[in-house]
Amino acid sequence: MTAPAVPPRSAAEQALVDAALVDLFEHRITFNQTLGLKIVSVQPADVRATFDMRPELVGHYAHGRLHGGVISATLDHIGGLAVIVGIAARHPHDNAQQVMTRFAKFGTIDLRVDYLRQGLGQQFTVTAEVMRLGGRIASTQMRLVNEEGTLIATGAAAYAVA
């Protein structure tokens, strides 16, 4: 005898999952508040956040450009968010609490950043795409652009997911 099929998450439950992910990355991971990250989209094909340039994020006082550590951190955070969004999509029967529980087993194990141009701009957008989501390891590719669409940095990361 087979177990009865569990229906996929309803639109209302998906909205709760999306809100929980935004809350997690904007408020509960407090370093993201320091960075000023604002989550724009948590759709599997469109994971995106923005942040504004502020004096606290400047890495070179004479040039007013974004600090390399800020670039690295934002790429890492959006890559991680993309993986969590991917995990939530892979488990469509999980409610918001179950998705958040899966996040507890999560961590960055490798991060590569390519700094392509100076971090100049007033607003930055960071995006991520999951390249592979396995049972234990996930890999992502990320991009950081300024408000003019100039590519500033790219990243690739691996995350432990179990």
How do residues 103-156 score in pLDDT, each as one tens digit? 888 899 999 999 999 999 999 999 999 999 999 999 999 999 999 999 999 999
pLDDT at 1: 55
Per-domain residue ranges of the chain: 11-160
Q: Whole-model pTM?
A: 0.92
Class of the 11-160 domain?
Answer: alpha beta
- CB count, 10 Å around CB of 140? 26
